[in-house]
Amino acid sequence: MEYGTYFLRRLLLLIPTFIGITLVSFALCQFVPGGPVEQALLQMRGVDAADRLSPSGALSEEQRLALEKHFGFDQPLLKRYWQWLVTNKIGLAVASYKYPHKSVWQLIKERFPVSLIFGVSGFLLTYLVCVPLGIAKALRQGTAFDWISSVVVFVGYAIPAFAFGMLLKMLFCGTSEQLWNIFPVSGFVSDHFELLAPLAKIKDIAWHMALPVLCYMIGHFAVLTLLMKNSLLEQIGQDYMRLVLARGASLRRAIWAHALRNALVPIATGFGGVLTVMFAGAVLIERVFEIPGMGRLSLEAIVGRDYMVFMG
């Protein structure tokens, strides 16, 4: 009963926490310079200046007020927040400032599958490579394999993912005539993607995602590999391992049957970071390879002051 009360209390605390965080974020977004009204004014100054500009060279106050009314900035802050929270369903039903013909929910539905494929494939490949490599390093600690693999891991870790992506584009995307043209420069699918057969579509996506996923792996490679290695070495030194060996089990059997299972527990802590990538996308990687995912959408919303997308 006490656990149920505690859980209910913590669950109810989510409501004021959510309202407080979103209200502060919403207020900050409204008052930061460079919002949709200012950007619309700049566009109007550069387009059809003879019709839009007053004789003094600046837009009239009536035009500014009309823009504020169009974007809803003529209303009180709390009223706009209530409309965002309730009327517009946490901003998902409202139109984007940058894409006025699409709602925030439509943009998310278009971009989320891309980030989901990117996150899941990167997650699977990272763990499929790092876990066996960490085990091999632990079993061969102090050998040449351990030292050489450590150098490779740390060199890869020292290179930022976006810089590594730019290097891969230069080497393998035909940006230089002297180098290889193996992978596409940008995008998630080819222009003729809809005309391809199902198997060909999978190959096309894999072809486009090869380099971005490799960049994603570089950012997590060293941490997961060394975490797996150190966790397994720690388990090998535990008392229960000495007891298993004293009962006549071989070291290999003791490691695979007992130590490895316990060593994998800390690896599960990385799942949260993977979920973040799946939902938010790898911002810089998507920017380098021009992948239309959630990360790129978030970056465009921040740079372009598209507050509705940013809050959604």
- pTM, two decimal places: 0.71
- pLDDT above 70 as % of the chain: 82
Q: Are 294 and 107 in contact (CB under 8 A)?
A: no
Distances 221 to 99, 236, 257, 265 between C-alpha atoms, Å:
37, 23, 25, 18
Distances 78 to 81, 292, 309 between C-alpha atoms, Å:
5, 33, 19
Does 106-306 carry CATH code 1.20.200.10? Answer: no
Alpha-carbon gap, residue 225 to 136, rounded angstroms: 10
* In the chain, where the domains are located: 2-105, 106-306
Q: Are 189 and 113 in contact (CB under 8 A)?
A: no
For residues 98 and 286, the model is more confident at: 286
- pLDDT above 90 as % of the chain: 3
For residues 177 and 308, the model is more confident at: 308
Segment 66-77, tens digit of pLDDT: 777 767 777 787
Q: Are 232 and 259 in contact (CB under 8 A)?
A: yes
Alpha-carbon gap, residue 90 to 232, rounded angstroms: 45
